Copies of this chain bind each other. A is one copy, B any other.
Amino acid sequence: MAGDGDSSPLPSSSSSSSSNNTTTTTTTTVTPSSKTDLNALFHRDLTLPDGTVTDVMTHFISRITTLFTDYMRETSSREDAKVVNYIAPKDLLAAFDMRITDEPESLGKIVEYCETTLQHGVRTSHPRFYNQLFARIDPVAMVGEWLTTMVNTSMYTYEVAPVFILMEAYMLERMREFIGWDVNVPGDGLFSPGGSISNMYAMQAARHYHFPQTKEHGLLAIGKIPVVFTSSHSHYSIKKGAALMGLGMRHVIAVDVDRRGKMIPADLDAKIQLAKDDGLAPFFVNATAGTTVVGAFDPFEEIAAVCKKHGVWMHVDAAWGGSALVSSKQRELLRGVELADSVTWNPHKMMGIPLQCSAILIRTSGLLSGCNATNAQYLFQKDKINTEYDTGDKAIQCGRKVDVFKLWLAWKAKGDKGYERQIDYAFANSRRLAELIRARPGFELVYEPECTNVCFWYVPPSLRHLDHTERREALHRVAPVIKAGMQYRGSMMIGYQPLDDFPNFFRMVFSNPAVTEEDIQFILDEIENLGHAL
């Protein structure tokens, strides 16, 4: 029986592969030179039937990595590539042959599809992509993720992921140390598929701590309605978590924020007390380090005091702002974070690690397996060796992708000081933009920046003399038009949104270490250019 699982239904147009051939000799005649070769070669030619890698594989991988390095080179340039070549959905569908049929396509076509995908995609590593809380990826982290992909293992057991299991434990401990927790007290944690899920782990750990009967008996066994508190500017994952976990979105109580977007501890205190008076069961407070829009840091020390007073779990969603802990200059923004019971921190944001890389960190050990252990015999046999290192019982997942290696590799390559400099540079850029905005007619800051978010309006000349209400309504329509203009031009990407009573404003985010003074000037020039005549 030959391992012909990959052989094609078509007669092969190449002499390099034969399903009856089990030696590598005939494949070495392929000259890894022109693209034409790949047009006559297929998936089945990458290996022999028994899996042995052929020279076609080397040629294919080399062709692909050349394409990739070209893409990286173009993307890093301000002249050679737009941030996006905008294309409307119907045109994209027409331009791109998505359809899979019975028959295989040649490796040449596969390379072409990769090219087309790159061409129509958004270049998030471009120096003028500022649209999300992530931007340019770290190239060493990218290589780390490529390795992870090739190795393709899962984080449940030491048996199948020895290096990564120990590395995750080391990195989680290191991150807990940056938070300021006592490293001599065993803590808990995991890398999860993202900040929302990390926040849900925190809610789950807190619920298990306060109401351990929930795991077996369900929420109905609590006898009271558990409630959660979070600021009105916090991330929507707290509400999503409350919906998924059966708590109900209305049992997420919004705490007021001050003029800088920071949670007001007195309001938290009053609302917890009110909930208690109403017979509800407050068990979880989510504070935020770097809110999504404004970039505000909640006052953790005061919030911790309120949580302590009421006996409520304190979580800090530092998905965005957690990376400031790496800088001795910026970490003051997180003063008091060490008083939290749990912290979410996403290196895939400000640290430039490719998606996904998010950690849930818990001050004390045992809660994650407390919540999630099912002791499934088929996976976690206690008669196997090294099972004390297994993490599968701590996770809501079974198979869990390796997300730690890319972070570890990039951090090794930069050292703490390298990362500190990168974080400080992003903060400095945000202060520089704020300075320019203050100095430039037609631009107005919405908030003084605290994290690297800079929120501002551009007010076209025609709006500058309107009265308050008229101006507000007109201003709300400005950002969407400028944003669409950016996308059509492909010159840059910045997000906008309304918030509270503020009409649509731009949110500029700095996390790309390649941003220069010229880029910062360009942002304002381009917005003015697109919006001046509105």
Bitwise interface map of A from 98 to 142 toward B, beta carbon under 8 Å scored 1, else 0: 111111110101100110011011111101000110101101101
| Stretch from A267-275, A307-315, A479-487, A526-534 contacting the other chain | A479-487
Does any Cβ of B come within 8 Å of A15's Cβ?
A: no
Does any Cβ of B come within 8 Å of A463's Cβ?
A: no
* Cβ B132 vs Cβ A154 within 8 A: yes
Does any Cβ of B come within 8 Å of A176's Cβ?
A: no
A398-B513 contact given A65-B61, A71-B150, A100-B408, CB 8 Å threshold: no
Which residues 45-84 of A sit at the B interface, judged by CB distance below 8 A?
A: 46-47, 49-53, 57-58, 60-62, 64-65, 68-69, 71-73, 76-77, 84
Name the residue in A49, A200, A413 with the highest tally of chain B Cβ atoms < 10 Å from its Cβ.
A413
Which residues 1-17 of A sit at the B interface, judged by CB distance below 8 A?
A: 1-9
* Cβ A146 vs Cβ B76 within 8 A: no
Nearest CB of B to A51, in Å: 3
* Cβ A196 vs Cβ B139 within 8 A: no
Question: A110's contact among B140, B246, B398, B499, by CB below 8 Å, is which?
Answer: B140
Question: A193's contact among B77, B103, B397, by CB below 8 Å, is which?
Answer: B397
* Cβ B5 vs Cβ A96 within 8 A: no
Nearest CB of B to A386, in Å: 6
A399-B113 contact given A76-B47, A247-B246, CB 8 Å threshold: no
B residues less than 8 Å from A469 (CB atoms)? none
B residues less than 8 Å from A43 (CB atoms)? 140, 410, 413-414, 418
* Cβ B3 vs Cβ A89 within 8 A: no
* Cβ B107 vs Cβ A374 within 8 A: no
B residues less than 8 Å from A354 (CB atoms)? 149, 152
Does any Cβ of B come within 8 Å of A522's Cβ?
A: no
Nearest CB of B to A326, in Å: 11
B residues less than 8 Å from A162 (CB atoms)? 84, 87, 89, 92, 120-122
B residues less than 8 Å from A473 (CB atoms)? none
Which residues 229-248 of A sit at the B interface, judged by CB distance below 8 A?
A: 235-237, 239-248
| Stretch from A217-225, A298-306, A439-447 contacting the other chain | A217-225
* Cβ A376 vs Cβ B236 within 8 A: yes
Does any Cβ of B come within 8 Å of A197's Cβ?
A: yes
* Cβ A413 vs Cβ B105 within 8 A: yes
* Cβ B515 vs Cβ A415 within 8 A: no
Rounded to whole angstroms, the CA-CA distance of A394 and B122 in the bound complex is 22
Rounded to whole angstroms, the CA-CA distance of A218 and B281 in the bound complex is 14
A89-B53 contact given A100-B412, A377-B499, CB 8 Å threshold: no
Rounded to whole angstroms, the CA-CA distance of A53 and B514 in the bound complex is 11
Rounded to whole angstroms, the CA-CA distance of A401 and B353 in the bound complex is 12
Does any Cβ of B come within 8 Å of A381's Cβ?
A: yes
Does any Cβ of B come within 8 Å of A145's Cβ?
A: yes
Rounded to whole angstroms, the CA-CA distance of A298 and B186 in the bound complex is 43
* Cβ B195 vs Cβ A219 within 8 A: no
B residues less than 8 Å from A417 (CB atoms)? 8-9, 102-104
* Cβ B217 vs Cβ A219 within 8 A: no
B residues less than 8 Å from A51 (CB atoms)? 76, 127, 136, 512-514
Does any Cβ of B come within 8 Å of A163's Cβ?
A: yes
* Cβ B356 vs Cβ A3 within 8 A: no
Question: A398's contact among B195, B371, B520, by CB below 8 Å, is which?
Answer: B195
Question: What range describes how many residues of A lie at the interface?
Answer: 35 or more
* Cβ B381 vs Cβ A46 within 8 A: no
Complex: chain B residue closest to A8, CB-CB: B418
Nearest CB of B to A533, in Å: 19
Rounded to whole angstroms, the CA-CA distance of A146 and B60 in the bound complex is 13
Nearest CB of B to A434, in Å: 14
Nearest CB of B to A368, in Å: 12
Rounded to whole angstroms, the CA-CA distance of A44 and B109 in the bound complex is 36
A416-B193 contact given A87-B162, A92-B166, A132-B154, CB 8 Å threshold: no
Complex: chain B residue closest to A248, CB-CB: B218
B residues less than 8 Å from A185 (CB atoms)? none
Question: A9's contact among B378, B402, B415, by CB below 8 Å, is which?
Answer: B415
| Stretch from A256-264, A333-341, A359-367, A425-433 contacting the other chain | A425-433
B residues less than 8 Å from A216 (CB atoms)? 243, 248-250
Rounded to whole angstroms, the CA-CA distance of A1 and B235 in the bound complex is 33
Does any Cβ of B come within 8 Å of A516's Cβ?
A: yes
Name the residue in A3, A104, A216, A235 with the highest tally of chain B Cβ atoms < 10 Å from its Cβ.
A3
Rounded to whole angstroms, the CA-CA distance of A355 and B399 in the bound complex is 8
* Cβ B480 vs Cβ A384 within 8 A: yes
Could you show 10 A-B contacts with beta carbons less than 8 Å apart?
A1-B429, A6-B513, A7-B418, A9-B417, A50-B514, A60-B139, A61-B65, A244-B245, A355-B402, A385-B484
